[in-house]
Amino acid sequence: MAPYESDDSTLAEEADDLRAGRRKAARYVVPVAVVGVAAATIGLVPALADSGDPDLPKISAQELIEKIAASDVQQLSGTVKITTDLGLPDFGGLGDAFTGGASRSGGDGSSADPSTKLTELATGTHTLRVASDGPDKQKVSVLEDAAEYSLIHNGKDVWGYDSKSNEVFHGTADESAKHDEEAPATPKDFADDALKAVDDTTSVTVDGTAQVAGRDAYRLVIKPKDDGSTVGQITVAVDARTGMPLKFTLTPSSGGAAVVDAGFTQVSFAKPAASTFDFTPPKGAKVTEEDSTAAPRDKRGPEELGGLDGLNVIGDGWDSIATFDTGGQGIPSGSEVGGDFGGFLDSLGDKVSGKFGEGTVFKTRLINALITDDGKVYVGAVTKDALVKAADAAK
């Protein structure tokens, strides 16, 4: 609180009513100005912070891929933001509706079980924290509202801790490798998967540079050459110094927002504190051992798949379509199932017909599946037309 200037009083006496009125109105300029400055700051600061693309020595796509392969980052910690938009209804609610009853009656499924938890990453935006110190110590945490799900690998122990329900999942290290494959979370996981698909049906280019999480990076663009693919292009930002993929973006050929966008918002290559990887189950937390309940549940899936008639892959590269015969009837139509679930089925699928007969196409923004009425299934990251063509060709 500043003291008043005493000369104000003389000025005030001179002022006439009109000027006083103006001066009164002028005070409202202050809040308006504050709003204006705030709006300008919100609008401008990201633009200013985006200091343009860094200047880096030219590099060929081949060299960049080798750099990624040679990248041997053992120690890092950072924050990853991952946004997935497959064009599906929210999995969270859906998963509950379909599996809620089953998993609760079937053996007390722990909410700290990684396989249940990591599927939630398939839709929406999530913030993850990752930390790694060599091959034996890793930690991935999914940040939730006032809660967190952590998956900690330390030596031969794998701990899952769900702070919301205070439940703990405990497994052994062999299993952790499997879980990692199930759910790619870091940009590196995604990039590795994408590079596996690189062959002569793909064009790979280096498209300038970018700044990711405050680090200079090359942009590697992977584009399928086939038109039938729903994958528009994949952009991987590769850290110029370490060769570590920092950001992964998959845009569909239909345009629009990225289907998968996973990138570091903050990253450090320093050794994380050792205590990060220490975990002791909190007092009173419910601990689920992997062997007792999770393993049988996990195995159920493959067994069911094994019952299907042989799985074939038609075509190669990005256009490849997996096909198998369920041997039975196709998907029941909505009216047969009836009720809400039937309506839901109908709303998901498109009826199509062709030389192969009739079927239903289930579409997402990336993966489409055609299930014919005689029970054959065609699945691939390809357009609806390509699926119909494949089905016709198979006849």
Partner 1 sequence: MSPVETSAVQGRGELRDQPPPTRSRRTTPRGTLFANELLTTFRRWRTLALLAVLAAVPILVGIAIKIETSDGGGVGGGRGGGGEGPAFISQVTNNGLFLVFTALAATLPFFLPMAIGVIAGDAIAGEANAGTLRYLLVAPAGRTRLLLTKYATVMTFCVVATLVVAISALAVGALLFPLGDLTTISGTQITFAEGLGRAFLIALVVAASLTGVAALGLFVSTLTGSGIAAMATTVGLLITVQILDQIPQLHALQPYFFSHYWLSFADLMREPVYWDELQKNLGLQALYAAVFGSAAWARFTTKDITA
Give residues in contact with partner 1 (CB under 8 A).
Answer: 1-6, 8-9, 11-13, 15, 20, 23-24, 27-28, 30-31, 34-35, 38, 79, 104, 108-109, 111, 127, 129, 141, 143, 145-148, 150, 152, 159, 161-167, 275-276, 278-280, 282-286
CA–CA separation, 354 vs 370, rounded Å?
12
Q: Minimal distance in Å, beta carbon 3 to partner 1?
A: 7
Give the nearer residue to partner 1 in terms of CB position, either 148 or 385: 148
- Retrieve residue 206's tokens: 């280096």
Give the nearer residue to partner 1 in terms of CB position, either 284 or 310: 284
Give helix 17-27 / helix 29-49 axis angle, nearest 10°.
Answer: 40
- Alpha-carbon separation of residue 366 from 42, 187, 198, 337 (angstroms): 34, 18, 18, 27
The phi-psi region of residue 193 (left if phi > 0; otherwise alpha if psi is between -120 and 50; otherwise beta) is alpha
| Torsion over CA: 184, 188, 191, 195 (sign) | negative
Give the nearer residue to partner 1 in terms of CB position, either 161 or 218: 161
Buried-exposed string 193-214: b where 16+ CB fall within 10 A, e elsewhere: ebbebbeebbebebeebbbbbe
Strand ranges (E), 52-154 = 75-84, 124-133, 137-144, 147-154
Length of the chain: 395
Give the nearer residue to partner 1 in terms of CB position, either 98 or 392: 98
Residue 202, amino acid: T
Give the nearer residue to partner 1 in terms of CB position, either 85 or 162: 162
Q: Minimal distance in Å, beta carbon 345 to partner 1?
A: 24
CA–CA separation, 376 vs 38, rounded Å?
58
Q: Is 252 helix (H, G, I), strand (E, B) or coil?
A: strand
Q: Minimal distance in Å, beta carbon 173 to partner 1?
A: 17
Give helix 187-196 / helix 61-70 axis angle, nearest 10°.
Answer: 120
Give the nearer residue to partner 1 in terms of CB position, either 145 or 174: 145
CA–CA separation, 6 vs 377, rounded Å?
87
Torsion of the alpha carbons at 253, 118, 186 and 234, rounded to the nearest 10: -10
Q: Minimal distance in Å, beta carbon 14 to partner 1?
A: 10
The phi-psi region of residue 120 (left if phi > 0; otherwise alpha if psi is between -120 and 50; otherwise beta) is alpha
Q: Minimal distance in Å, beta carbon 4 to partner 1?
A: 6
Q: Minimal distance in Å, beta carbon 85 to partner 1?
A: 14
**Quick one: which H or E segment has residue 340?**
helix 339-348
Give the nearer residue to partner 1 in terms of CB position, either 71 or 166: 166
Give the nearer residue to partner 1 in terms of CB position, either 22 or 395: 22
Q: Minimal distance in Å, beta carbon 376 to partner 1?
A: 38
Q: Minimal distance in Å, beta carbon 276 to partner 1?
A: 7
Give the nearer residue to partner 1 in terms of CB position, either 159 or 190: 159
Q: Minimal distance in Å, beta carbon 331 to partner 1?
A: 30
